[in-house]
Chain A
Amino acid sequence: MNVVFKSTYYTLYQSTAERRYYIDFGQKMVRISLCELLSLRHKIMSISIEDHFDSDLNSHGFEVLMLCNKEHLFILNTLEVLDLKTLIDNGFVALGLSARAGALI
């Protein structure tokens, strides 16, 4: 397995033999297809991080994230969400599917 990108908390790997990707979430390793990775990217992009700084809109500053068609469930705090954004963003650049760095931020 090759490391595609490593952020502060997470690492994205590519397994060429399996034609799959893996995300090391620290407590759990998740096997993920490119479609599921695209879907994760969409979910992460749809999170309104501004709401985390407004106690009316997001009182506890957490996001519930379901992955791989409801196979996994994660609860992320603000910093983890931002870090996952960084991972996905740079991951897609490293995979050659994104034209520029900082696309998601």
Chain B
Amino acid sequence: MKDIARQSMSIKVESMDLLNGQIKMEAHASATYLAMASWCEQNGFFTSAKFFFKQAEEEREHMMKIFNFLVDTGGNPISPEVTNINHDYSSIVDVFESTLEHEVKVTKSIHNIVMKSRELGDLATEKFLDWFVLEQVEEENTIRDILDMIEVTGTEGVGLQMIDTHVANWIE
């Protein structure tokens, strides 16, 4: 039997499933950052809002990168359902702490797909994810730096507004 299936699709369906899961995760991240932007706007942290609007856009770009990879490899990209977006935060510190938590979760998920694609011998998926591995180092580092800045600035008195102003340093 001629291998016409392999001619139409260049990755394994298991990798495709994992990447569809990651599409969902990036979409969820994008929606979560949009909710954070909304919270920041409503609570007077306008610079932080700008930061999260930009983050939301970036996460959507990540999602599209994976989506297009599945198109290129002949897979079946699935437009994700996004549910359960949290809009409640107790403070701006809570917002950034949740962001770091979220990014660490994303990093773990990407590492998991890299390890699985390595097991499957799926070199294309593994190489494709190189960019994401490094991007996650950047993203985690940014949020850690902001949390360090928050710690130095302190939340007493005008601290909260100073925090918001300083966030501008992380908006390119």
Q: Which residues of A contact B (CB under 8 A)?
A: 2, 4, 14, 16, 19, 34-35, 38-39, 41-42, 45, 92, 95-100, 103
Contact = CB atoms under 8 A, between A and B. Distances in A.
Given A96-B6, A97-B6, A14 B1 contact: yes
Interface string B46-82: 0000000000000000000000000000111010000
Category for how many chain B residues contact A? 20 to 34
A19 B14 contact: no
A39 B76 contact: yes
B75 A16 contact: no
Interface of B: 1-6, 8-9, 12-14, 16-17, 74-76, 78, 120-122
B79 to A, nearest CB: 11
Contacts, number: 49
A16 B4 contact: yes
Contacts of B74: 34
B3 A98 contact: no
B5 A95 contact: yes
B13 A96 contact: no
A35 B14 contact: no
A102 to B, nearest CB: 11
Nearest to B78: A42
Contact of A103 (B4, B5, B13): B13
Contact of A98 (B4, B14, B76): B14
Contact of A99 (B1, B5, B12): B12
A97 B9 CA distance: 8
Given A41-B76, A96-B6, 10 more contacts: A14-B1, A16-B2, A34-B5, A38-B13, A38-B16, A41-B13, A98-B12, A99-B14, A99-B122, A100-B14
Nearest to A38: B76
Given A34-B9, A35-B76, A96 B3 contact: yes
A92 B76 CA distance: 14
A96 B4 CA distance: 10
Contacts of B121: 99
Nearest to A93: B13
Nearest to B74: A34
A98 B14 CA distance: 6
A2 B9 contact: no
Contacts of A34: 4-5, 8-9, 74
Contact of A19 (B4, B16, B78): B4
